[in-house]
Amino acid sequence: MMVSRPLPVRQFTKRFFGIVIVFLVFLGACVGTTPAADPVAAGEPELGVSTEEGGEDSQDGLVYEGQDELLPGDSTDELSTEETLGDPEIEISEDAEQTSDDVDPFANLDKNTDTTYFYVLGQLYLRENKWKLAEKAFMYVAEADPESIEASLIVAHLATQRGDLDRAVRYTTEVVKRAPDHRKARFLLAGLLTARKEYDKAVEHYEILLKGEPEHHSARLLLAQLYGKIRKIDKAEEILSPLFQNKEWEWKAQLALGRAYVNVPDMEKALLAFQAARAADPDEIEPVLAVGAALQEMKRGEEAERLYREFLGAHPDNKAIHGRLGRLLLKRNDRVGALEEFRAISKLAPDSLQARLTTGLLLVSEKKYEEAIAELRLVEALQPDNSTVMYYLGQALEAINRDDEASLSYEKVKKGDPFFAEAQLRLAFLDVSKGNLDGGIKRIQQLLDEDKKNVDLYGALSILQLQANQYEAVVKTCTEGMALDPGYDRLLFNRAMALDKLKRWSEAERDLKLYVERNPEDAHGLNYLGYSWADRGENLQEAYKLVQKAALLAPGDGFISDSLGWVLYRLNRLEESLVKMREAVHMEADDPTIREHLGDVLFAMGKKEEALEVWKKALALDGNNDELKNKIKRNEVKK
């Protein structure tokens, strides 16, 4: 039977799985590393404005595959900032190494030990960046001496750093109860309550703070934004009014008002406020980012682009705006333009790994593999354990047939890392390309045994099982996969092909008809069903329509031309069939089945000598075709 043959492993898997690169880059995807301190490529907090076209929860920043949005983005609560959390007495480095608590230094201490000991111990742990141990030491101090405000605040800050907001709120609340006039504690508590979305309570603390200290402008700005959250926009304007006439604070006040309107939400008024902030100080970057984000949210991307380019004209070295413009261009699928922006960032900040990684991914998507490898190798040198780098480096190496190096890169992605499953899939298909089909199947089966809910693994496994002629296994794999995702049409098509090979045509036909109904523009699905009907002499007119449409969708496909010729042959339109068959042989000269079909058409037209010659050429390409051998023998005898 002549159908659309499965693509060669390398070609098919690049099309089926390799498109993840383009897809990730289009979404602005990047790398699974911790965010850098500078704003290069990572983006700035977006002032509460979602700029991804089509969703509130989307990000304008680069999203890390395999992790949950480590970078600040447009859906980040703009009130949950470091400033919101107050003015910490201690500085905590994100890159500091946390000592293991396997040995508990507190285990053998007497509970009556003087608090001074724990205080000194806590300070020593702070100097050594042993945050958890420091937090534990200061908790001893705070519990033993409730009057120790400093110890309680340090515990609160350390708990905040770990994300334990409940503990942070508990300790800060105790400080505020004991010292109602403690400005930093109340400011921290208001920020913590905001982070927990307890907006009414946070408002109460900011209001108390401002009554005692009207010049606390940071609290005023944050309170205004909270008023927007609780739909009291008039109060936001009122609380900010003293700052509108203050030259130093005017742009910040307008920015806060814009954020309040975003929280309402009222994007038109938010944009006006952001524009007023920019007019108040054209050289400040935050208003530019806010105006641009608002324009993008309002689907006015061209205006946003003009804004960014105008700002870069006056400030060509601004990495954040280059990054924002690059991401905007990515959303338009202008990867060439985006590449230019991220390359500019790499020149301005050669040590920015995020910019280099983004550049590398864009180069891969543009098929500039050698350049991509150079960029990714630079990142690898500094982050040899970064699984995202290793995965995409493997993709680039594989694309230029450096398969051994690609395999080494994929092997460095360890179990539990982001992209582990994807790397194993690539290794499986590389196994197959080296002739180890069983090894590839085994590798994917092991992945599936550990993650039975990953429907993509069922798809990959079914592809290799088809190549191994394991048709019963294909039916089982596809059925199990579709139980998880009934809409996974690739599984439906693979099962149909396996059922056809098992001579369970009625079931195969059912799956094929459903597949074509769901995917009316899939040339290969149309071709398979149309050819199958023609080969059985069924539904010939409908088969002709399907294959003709497939030929229009995929011009130059020799297999589809063969199918069209075969349908015409069944319809006894031999002259037309001959034209299509000769076209198919020209396009797929080494395919024995297409040559055999050409011979069949010639024979039906009475051109027996030419038919025999064509059949013999087909047999030379497939010496094990006993049916063709017998056909040649029968007709040579008749001759």
Q: Which residues of 506-527 are buried (b: 16+ CB within 10 A; e: fewer)?
A: eebbebbeebbeebeebbbbbb
**Chain-wide mean pLDDT for the chain?**
82
What are the φ and ψ backbone dihedral angles of 59, each rounded to 5 degrees?
A: -115, 145
Q: State how far Cα 45 lies from the chain centre.
A: 20
- Long-range CB contacts (< 8 A, 24+ apart) of 140-148? 140/106, 140/115, 141/115, 142/171, 142/174, 144/115, 144/118, 145/115, 146/174, 146/178, 147/178, 148/115, 148/119
Would 72 be classed as within a structural domain?
Answer: no
pLDDT of residue 358: 87
pLDDT of residue 107: 63
Tens of pLDDT along 352-409?
A: 888 888 888 888 888 899 999 999 998 899 889 899 999 999 999 999 999 999 999 9
- For residues 313 and 307, give the distance between their C-alpha atoms in angstroms, rounded to a whole number: 10
Q: Which residue has the higher pLDDT, 110 or 589?
A: 589
Would 102 be classed as within a structural domain?
Answer: no
- For residues 105 and 121, give the distance between their C-alpha atoms in angstroms, rounded to a whole number: 10
Looking at the structure of the chain, the number of domains it has is 1
- For residues 546 and 520, give the distance between their C-alpha atoms in angstroms, rounded to a whole number: 9
Would 604 be classed as within a structural domain?
Answer: yes
35 has a pLDDT exceeding 60: no
| Coil, strand or helix at 206 | helix
Would 574 be classed as within a structural domain?
Answer: yes
51 has a pLDDT exceeding 80: no
- For residues 233 and 261, give the distance between their C-alpha atoms in angstroms, rounded to a whole number: 7
Q: At 610, which CATH number?
A: 1.25.40.10
Tens of pLDDT along 152-165?
A: 999 999 999 988 99
Using pLDDT thresholds of 50, 70 and 90, give the confidence band for residue 221.
very high
Would 378 be classed as within a structural domain?
Answer: no
What are the φ and ψ backbone dihedral angles of 29, each rounded to 5 degrees?
A: -75, 155
Q: State how far Cα 109 lies from the chain centre.
A: 49
Would 310 be classed as within a structural domain?
Answer: no
Region 271-285 average pLDDT: 94
64 has a pLDDT exceeding 60: no
pLDDT of residue 103: 59
Put residue 498 in one of left, alpha, beta given phi > 0 → left and psi -120 to 50 → alpha. Answer: alpha
Would 584 be classed as within a structural domain?
Answer: yes
- Long-range CB contacts (< 8 A, 24+ apart) of 451-454? 451/421, 453/484, 454/421
Would 67 be classed as within a structural domain?
Answer: no
Give the structural domain span for 555. Answer: 549-639
pTM for the whole structure: 0.60
What are the φ and ψ backbone dihedral angles of 63, each rounded to 5 degrees?
A: -100, 135
